[in-house]
Amino acid sequence: MTGNEHGGRLGEEFFTPGSSSFTEFLAAHRPELLSTRRVLPDGVRAAPDQVPHGTTVLALTFRDGVLIAGDRRATMGNLIAQRDLEKVHPADDHTAVAFAGTVGLALDMVKLYQVELTHFEKIEGVAMTLDGKARRLAGMIRQNLGQAMQGLAVVPLLTGYDPSAPEGERGRIFSFDVAGGLYEKADFHAEGSGSPYARGALKKLFRKGLDRREAALTALQALYDAADDDSATGGPDISRRIFPIVSVITEDGFERLPETETEHLSREMVEQRRARPDGPNATP
């Protein structure tokens, strides 16, 4: 791909009109660079206690857009593999992706997806629509189906700000299954091993019209409930100062909440839990 095999010149494939998909370009000319295409030998499955897995991520809409958040823990079986994993990443200026599942493959998929969106915009001269971004990510997950069936699944969560949507509905959330099935979710969603508990908390605490601070506290409460019942999900680590990653996407674009703000909100939530260990009641 560097041109060295052509005496320092780019190969003919770089000058041949084709798809605006960078993934399709790699699949045609350098498929060995696509980690999602590599399948283990027949009959071999990945040992779950030998591969780091990311756990709980979630998203919810709020007054100005959509919020996406994740805990920081990765596990290998019953071991904590990493305490400060970053599971939430910007895909472009108005889109973000978080992941649960096999960490190595997920990070590769996120990087490839970022390049995919940038490549499309450079080739076509316009940004891909949010629906197009969701379909493109679904296609990339589908390419990983062989590895998913061998125990190396990646389950992303996609959020974006859609200026073409009606007012009040511009924050959008998309979930996927391991076969690339695409589903749009209303109001909130969670993925990963702690997702049943996080979704239960979100169902209890979510309401229309939350401001940014209220949405961030709701996300932190949901992640705390997930960590309370799921050993693979990490709660706020006050002593190490490791806190969940919380990001928002609004008309102004993607913004990761500063560490100081996330720490302040996490400490406030933990203090509230001293009086109410099971968390706040549903808002009337």
Q: Taking the alpha carbons of 209, 66, 262, 283 in that order, is the dihedral positive or negative?
A: positive
Phi-psi region of 250 (alpha: psi -120 to 50; beta: other; left: phi over 0): beta
Copy the structure tokens of residue 164.
């073409």
57-76: b or e for each residue (b if 16 or more CB lie within 10 Å)? bbbbbbebbbbbbbbbbbbb
Select which of 55, 95, 102, 218 is catalytic.
55
Contact, 241 vs 89, CB < 8 A? no
Contact, 213 vs 268, CB < 8 A? no
Contact, 145 vs 36, CB < 8 A? no
- Amino acid, res. 137: L
245: phi then psi, degrees, rounded to nearest 5: -90, 125
144: phi then psi, degrees, rounded to nearest 5: -90, 10
- Please say if 283 is a catalytic residue: no
232: phi then psi, degrees, rounded to nearest 5: -85, -5
Tell me how far CA of residue 20 lies from CA of 3, 34, 120, 121, 174, in angstroms. 20, 17, 5, 9, 23
Q: Can you tell me the distance from the alpha carbon of 116 to that of 175, in angstroms, rounded to the nearest whole number?
A: 19
Give catalytic residues, as residue numbers: 55
